[in-house]
A = this chain, B = another copy of it.
Amino acid sequence: MNVLLVYAHPEPRSLNGSLKNFTVERLERAGHTVQVSDLYAMNWKATLDADDAPARDLAEPFRPSTDSRHAFEGGTQPADIAAEQEKLRWADAVILQFPLWWFTMPAILKGWVERVYAYGFAYGVGEHSDRRWGSRYGEGTLAGKRAMLIVTTGGWESHYGPRGINGPIDDILFPIQHGVLYYPGFDVLPPFVVYRTSRMDDARFAQTREALGERLDRLWETAPIAFRQQNAGAYEIPALTLRDEIAPGRTGFAAHVDGAGAAS
């Protein structure tokens, strides 16, 4: 299988760098083909701006969404954007690996999402009608592919627990797992999270690699998070609210996962 690893850490001689190398080796040894988008090494342009629509009408205001659509449809996107889209098309699975900085991905990776996720590619796909609100949330260009996060954080696991001060890790990652990955169609696997990175001795590092290796070995068998498809009956259209009979009385991120326990 083909795996794309999108990796965002500035220092190769880091825990993230070691885990990245381990991931590539483990997947290649299992017979998979791996491409790495090492965003720092690529000097990835993090900021979405008018330069990303070089063929646009300069007399008009820059419109990020509309101009993205025209550049994508007209084949006038910058080469770095088109290359990443091609890698996504090529991949059977995509891994995003990053340190959790201020409770989300680093800016350089966020800018990868903003620039690569063109209108017509990752959003603005499919028909809008009284039964479909575009091909998104479980459908779309990247449907049939798998995605997984590898995340490191200095905080303790309890700080990210159900009643931890930072909020539950599943909720912190929801805008990425649901909003960035499930949105254009990925099946999203549970994340691999490494906590308390400042206390990483050899023994813990060995355990961490072992646990990550097992996750990578089961990349094709692990059950995805059961996010609810937008156009399969769970949501009113166009309000896009859960129908009354779906997770009745529940609110919040977890209500969008099928069978994810009781109200909390």
Which A residues are within 8 Å of any B CB, using their own CB?
A: 10-14, 40, 44, 46-50, 61-65, 99, 101-104, 106-108, 110-111, 113-114, 117, 137, 154, 156, 158-159, 161-168, 171-172, 174-175, 178-180, 230, 235, 238-242, 247, 249-256, 263-264
Query: What is the minimal beta-carbon distance from A54 to any residue of chain B, in angstroms?
Result: 14
With A47-B108, A241-B158: A255-B163 Cβ-Cβ less than 8 Å: yes
Q: Please tell me if the beta carbons of A158 and B239 are within 8 angstroms of each other in the complex.
A: yes
* Residue of A113, A165, A180, A251 with highest tally of chain B CB at under 10 A: A165
Interface centre among A14, A159, A180, A251 (most CB of B within 10 A): A251
Point out the residue from B11, B107, B235 that lies within 8 Å of A165, measured CB to CB. Answer: B235
* Whole-angstrom distance between the Cβ of A159 and the nearest chain B Cβ: 5
Chain B residues in 8 Å Cβ range of A102: 110, 113-114, 117, 175, 179-180
Beta-carbon contact of B241 and A164 below 8 Å: yes
> In the complex, are the beta carbons of B50 and A165 less than 8 A apart?
no
In the complex the two chains form, is A252's CB within 8 Å of B168's CB? yes
A11, B63: Cα distance in complex, Å = 7
Contact A167 B178 (CB under 8 A): yes
